[in-house]
Structure 1
Amino acid sequence: MNKIILLLAATLFFTWADAQQRTYCNPINVDYGYCPIPNFVTKGKHRATADPVITYFKDKYYLFSTNQWGYWHSSDMADWTFVPRKFLRPEHKVYDELCAPSLSYVNDTLLVVGSTHGKDFPIWMSTNPQVDNWKELVHKFEAGAWDPQIFWDKDTDEVYLYYGSSNMYPLYGVKLNRKTFQPEGEPVPVVALNDDEHGWERFGEYNDNTFLQPFTEGAFMTKYNGKYYLQYGAPGTEFSVYADGVYVSDKPLGPFTYQDFNPFSYKPGGFARGAGHGATYQDAKGSYWHVSTSVISVKNNFERRIGIWPAGFDKDDIMYSNTAYGDYPTYLPSESKAHTGLLSFTGWMLLNYNKPVQVSSTLGGFQPNFAVDEDIKTYWSAKTANKGEYLITDLGEISTINAIQINYADQDVTFMGKPETTTGHKYILYTSDDGKKWKVLIDKSKNTKDVPHDYIELKTSVKARYLKLENIQMPTGKFAISGLRIFGKGNGEKPGTVQDFVPLRAEPKKKGERRNVWFKWQQEPNADGYVIYFGKSPDKLYGSIMVYGKNEYYFSGLDRSDAYYFRIEAFNNNGIGPLSEIKESK
């Protein structure tokens, strides 16, 4: 009897703990500033940032990224508070205010420095960065580094700088004097691309473009179990295949060895695509995360957002991140949920992929179904930003709804840089069972926050078939939506096991392009899409590719010389189907 009571108590506790646990959804919802560079907005003004870095410092998470005229802090990785601050001095005549910044700490002091090719930028320091309380640690940083990262080795109390952004030169590392923070000795080349061997390092939207050499950038160092993990981005920030790889060494300046399981951060498919030029950090409970750049690249190649992915090291010290279903609702740090693998995913599925849409008006070719096609590059726009413009999404059946993500697009916006004030996104979200009688689900008609990727986790799930997003007011521009994404569970069947999954690849020692593989499979009738997993060991299929609406995928990201293993699963609004058998490609 006592055992039954204890089991019941444990069950109730974990149910309560799970109910209290919060979630997030990529791209993360922060008040991204607008591109401040005039020659980057000739095709339309737009929000933009990239090259993010997060660190946990004095019980807060701090987030810096490119050209935001400030930074954010958070206590939970869900709600972020912006601190306005321009780090660029008037004498620095460059258009980048703080490009690809380094963010790190030494003991009780947070350090920040931006990219520069000169030698007159300062290193800034603060012991209380929750407010604009920064001083110069170094007045003129002689390294003159682009895409810098200052790394403090706690074990040795030594400081190093890693940097570089080029399609001609490698990444470099140099030791810094512990007292002056200026370089000691000559920089050492530490990582260079080898795209002849590594398919994922090739230039192009899908590693398929050869008119330009690929870029490497975004050096970032993490130390784990006495080893140094030097991370780098490739092949270009404007591509869906933008990814991070890693080299490993026993010494901070190498020599470094390519980790077999690369890229370790990769997301070429889905809504929030791209997972390159990022940073790895630990949360308050010691679990690892990887923050990186997500791609839009519509109004300018450098139109980008931020994504956060669960990450870690396996029993063999292999570094990885989990991007499968990484733009669906994901659990934030918690003691009641495992952090790795699919256990970080809530299991809430996308309910309205390519489902019917009704709208109040349509501007030109910005068609209604672009709001539900799972492509952040396309969007629907109403003709105006007037109160009463609306979008209705039909789930096809009464479904259980757990969360909603509203992704606004930039159409005819007027801002550049960071506005001092904003009216915020004001809207009302309704539900209906029949499309005629409507109930208010979320009322943000008085909202004053800027929420370009607003994510709302419902405290209690609701059931409905239709949802109506009604505009009240926009901060700027027309009422435009790149993704109204409804998450929960439908009432039908999950897909079955995918049949006839075949990876087609050139055989070893024969003519053919072994960096490429063509996946083919039998269409699963109940599937909305598929996730393909890949890796160089059957028990380490850390890479993933999300594919919607097709039964083939041409993947150009393999390492030429090695064997690979693959498997696939189908998903729909009701859940995820069984994994297929593992297929080997030698």
Structure 2
Amino acid sequence: MAKVWAKPLVNSTGGGAWYRGVMRTALPIALAAVLLAVPAAAQEARPRTWANPVDVDYKYNFEQTHRGISYRTGADPVIVLHRDRYFLFQTLADGYWTSENLLDWTYVQPDKWPFESNVAPAAASDGERLYLMQSAFEPRPMLVSEHPETGQWDWHTRVLPPVSGAVSQNEEGSYGDAGLPEGKLPPGPWDPGLFIDDDGKWYLYWGSSNVYPLFGSEIDPTPPVRFVGEPTRLHVLHPDQHGWERFGQDHSGTLPDGTAIKSFMEGAWMTKHGGRYYLQYGAPGTEYNAYANGTYVASSPLGPFEYAPYNPVSYKPGGFVEGAGHGSTFQDRYGNWWNTGTPWIGHNWTFERRIAMFPGGFTADGQMHFSSRFGDYPQRMPTETVEDPDSLFTGWFPLSYKAEAEASSTVGEFTADRATDENPRTFWVAGANRAGETLTLDLGGVKRVHAVQVNYADYQSGIYAERPDIRTRFRILWSVDGADWRVFADLSDSERDRPNAYVEGERPVDARFIRYEHGEVAAAHLAISDLRVFGTSDGLPPERPTDIRVERGRDQRNATVHIAPVSGALGYNVRWGTAPDRLFLTYQVYGDDLRDLGDQLEVRALNTGVDYWFAVEAFSPSGVSPLSRVVRVPARD
């Protein structure tokens, strides 16, 4: 819904492509022994790790309960670096989060919050003050704060001026698919995005529709704030040319019942880099796996803009975290670029979602890109400038995938095996939400465990009243033989709610069994969608895939990738891009799913008239294979 820009406090390094290398992640036994011998204090100096979805206390969505169910959700993330602190705003949170390191997030409840809970808020920093505005169908306030970590905000302007030519919500529906007449604008600004240029001029971008374009305008930020000139119509979607802009699961273009539906465009966000202006947008809709971010590029803030043929710039249709659209682009304090997005959960309601971050950057000639390769496995958080975003991947894989699972109790069909399938829409439900319930995984052999992620589900949660004591408590235990148990992580005294709790052990352990031991969760039921155990196993990585074939469809928006299975592979990354050294886009698929698809994967995210290059890599807990040969897939005449 709203995308905004914050003026970076660190200049972009910006030069050179962040090319993807092939990582060999098997950990030599000698090195492992050395690591285990290192004192804990020394190990703390190593970069800490994290995993998507971002580990924040997603708030229960009291405003939009569905069928009498409350659920935790997060969407439309805006991250701003302000006075050397990060601030995270999202939809329907009744507050926001702050962090000094992008790892440890503290929730802030504002002292003065003059509007109902924000939907897709816009935020921007001028270096001294942080500005905040909400999505609205009519003029609303803009707030300002020098130190938002305190929760104190002042009025910047009590009511933004009306947009000249804006129609009412009632009028909007009368225009239908015909679009708005010249001189007319949709009600708003809905999904606003703020941008402060290097010369100090301010711009506002907005729009959320499956019919109308995005709009942009210069604004005078001096209270009471006014529009400078007439707003500019920017662009609409072209799903007939851009495959990734088609709505539905894997860009099917339809709802589950087969009904055709137009794609949605929203979440405008502006980034300036190398003298170019990158107007980003989310499409084709937040409800399925194919939600993504794209960009148009111009030499001035209001265009004219040209479509980037390498779109989308952030895309993650496969894996546990699915969807990367409707987010923000920012630089961390070291100058590294990040893109945020809105992955899809969709169990209690189609708009049940979470938040993700993906590293990326710009090539020397200005191509914007962000990496979702292993994008929901643990990553190192950089503490310096990083040239290659793929180097942040730890090499830890989900040892828990399809592991044998046993629960202390179960409700009906919600069996323990649902907690090991890498699917956030299936889950185990315990017989009772009481301390001492357990979920135990057999990893099938002794493997090196580095981290665990506990992803809770909201099953029949009922309607919650707001409570200050919503918290998540548990222990993670490990064992070699299933009899002698030791503590891997202890959150028994936690005061935080952590629906997607990620915990890295003080040191890796060699374990066959991992046990979740329940303490407390706020929901009516104890339900876990996935108990994800990350680590490595002995052995060699899978061999290089040697037999791949790619067919461009008669419909140029589609290509089918045929993959001969590789022995020992847990899964595959299908990678593609507009040059053989720019395979920036990834579709991850597990080996058993690929078999169900007939050893082929259809990629439906291509742009017509654009040549592509494809390659495949295999992976397992023992590491990543060398990349297959890179196959050129030209556009059809």
TM-score, normalising length: structure 2: 0.85
Superposition pairs for residues 418-497 of structure 1, below 5 Å? 419-497=466-544
1:276-307 deviation digits (Å, cap 9, x = unpaired): 00000011111111111111111111100000
CA contact (8 A) 1:35 1:416 kept: no
Change (3 A) 1:460 1:17: closer
Superposition pairs for residues 78-227 of structure 1, below 5 Å? 78-85=103-110, 89=114, 97-119=117-139, 121-142=140-161, 143=163, 144-153=188-197, 155-180=198-223, 181-210=225-254, 211-227=260-276
AA partner of residue 484 (structure 1):
L
Following the alignment from structure 2 to structure 1, what is the Cα–Cα distance between the partners of residues 495 and 86?
23
AA partner of residue 542 (structure 1):
F
Of 229, 233, 252, which aligns to 2:278?
Answer: 229
CA contact (8 A) 1:173 1:188 kept: yes
Secondary structure, counterpart of 1:130 in structure 2: helix
Secondary structure, counterpart of 1:269 in structure 2: coil
* 1:403 corresponds to: 451
Residue 341 of structure 1: how far off its partner (Å)? 3.3
* 2:625 corresponds to: 577
The reply to whether residue 297 of structure 1 matches residue 341 of structure 2 is no
The reply to whether residue 520 of structure 1 matches residue 567 of structure 2 is no
Residue 424 of structure 1: how far off its partner (Å)? 1.4
Residue 88 of structure 1: how far off its partner (Å)? 5.8
Of 90, 96, 100, which aligns to 1:75?
Answer: 100
AA partner of residue 573 (structure 1):
P
Following the alignment from structure 1 to structure 2, what is the Cα–Cα distance between the partners of residues 389 and 304?
27
Residue 413 of structure 1: how far off its partner (Å)? 2.1
AA partner of residue 44 (structure 1):
I
Sequence identity percentage: 38
Change (3 A) 1:501 1:206: same
Of 421, 428, 452, which aligns to 1:373?
Answer: 421
CA contact (8 A) 1:333 1:339 kept: no
1:151-189 deviation digits (Å, cap 9, x = unpaired): 111x21100000000000011101101423321222111
CA contact (8 A) 1:102 1:149 kept: yes
The reply to whether residue 252 of structure 1 matches residue 296 of structure 2 is no
1:535-558 deviation digits (Å, cap 9, x = unpaired): 111111111111012132121111
* 1:30 corresponds to: 56
Change (3 A) 1:322 1:86: farther
* 2:582 corresponds to: 540
Following the alignment from structure 1 to structure 2, what is the Cα–Cα distance between the partners of residues 392 and 17?
28
Residue 37 of structure 1: how far off its partner (Å)? 2.6
CA contact (8 A) 2:82 2:127 kept: no
CA contact (8 A) 1:310 1:340 kept: no
1:449-492 deviation digits (Å, cap 9, x = unpaired): 11111111122111110001011221222111111111111113
CA contact (8 A) 1:70 1:86 kept: no
Residue 503 of structure 1: how far off its partner (Å)? 1.3
1:117-157 deviation digits (Å, cap 9, x = unpaired): 112x101100110112101111111243000011111x211
The reply to whether residue 286 of structure 1 matches residue 335 of structure 2 is yes
Which segments of 5 or more consecutive residues in structure 1 lack a partner in the other structure? 1-11, 91-95, 507-511
* 2:377 corresponds to: 328
Which segments of 5 or more consecutive residues in structure 2 lack a partner in the other structure? 1-37, 164-187, 255-259
Residue 191 of structure 1: how far off its partner (Å)? 2.2
Secondary structure, counterpart of 1:145 in structure 2: coil
Secondary structure, counterpart of 1:206 in structure 2: helix
Following the alignment from structure 2 to structure 1, what is the Cα–Cα distance between the partners of residues 81 and 413?
44
Following the alignment from structure 1 to structure 2, what is the Cα–Cα distance between the partners of residues 108 and 407?
38
CA contact (8 A) 1:530 1:547 kept: yes
AA partner of residue 358 (structure 2):
W
Following the alignment from structure 1 to structure 2, what is the Cα–Cα distance between the partners of residues 577 and 28?
28
Superposition pairs for residues 387-402 of structure 1, below 5 Å? 387-402=435-450
Aligned pairs, number: 558
Following the alignment from structure 1 to structure 2, what is the Cα–Cα distance between the partners of residues 18 and 565?
41
Residue 493 of structure 1: how far off its partner (Å)? 2.8
Change (3 A) 1:416 1:226: farther
Which structure features the higher share of strand residues?
Answer: 1
Of 352, 355, 359, which aligns to 2:407?
Answer: 359
CA contact (8 A) 2:401 2:422 kept: yes
CA contact (8 A) 1:391 1:468 kept: yes
AA partner of residue 60 (structure 1):
R
Structure of higher RCO (CA pairs closer than 8 Å, 6+ residues apart): 2
1:399-434 deviation digits (Å, cap 9, x = unpaired): 1111111111112324548x3412411112111111
* 1:509 corresponds to: none
CA contact (8 A) 1:270 1:374 kept: yes
Following the alignment from structure 2 to structure 1, what is the Cα–Cα distance between the partners of residues 412 and 105?
35
CA contact (8 A) 1:424 1:448 kept: yes
CA contact (8 A) 2:358 2:370 kept: yes
Change (3 A) 1:17 1:459: closer
1:36-87 deviation digits (Å, cap 9, x = unpaired): 234x421632111200000111010000000100000000000000011387
CA contact (8 A) 1:310 1:339 kept: no
CA RMSD of aligned residues (A): 1.8
* 1:384 corresponds to: 432
Residue 339 of structure 1: how far off its partner (Å)? 4.9
Following the alignment from structure 1 to structure 2, what is the Cα–Cα distance between the partners of residues 251 and 203?
30
CA contact (8 A) 1:312 1:340 kept: no
AA partner of residue 449 (structure 2):
I
AA partner of residue 46 (structure 2):
Q
* 1:3 corresponds to: none
CA contact (8 A) 1:87 1:97 kept: no
CA contact (8 A) 1:34 1:415 kept: no
Change (3 A) 1:261 1:17: farther
Residue 520 of structure 1: how far off its partner (Å)? 1.4
The reply to whether residue 344 of structure 1 matches residue 368 of structure 2 is no
Of 519, 529, 535, which aligns to 2:571?
Answer: 529
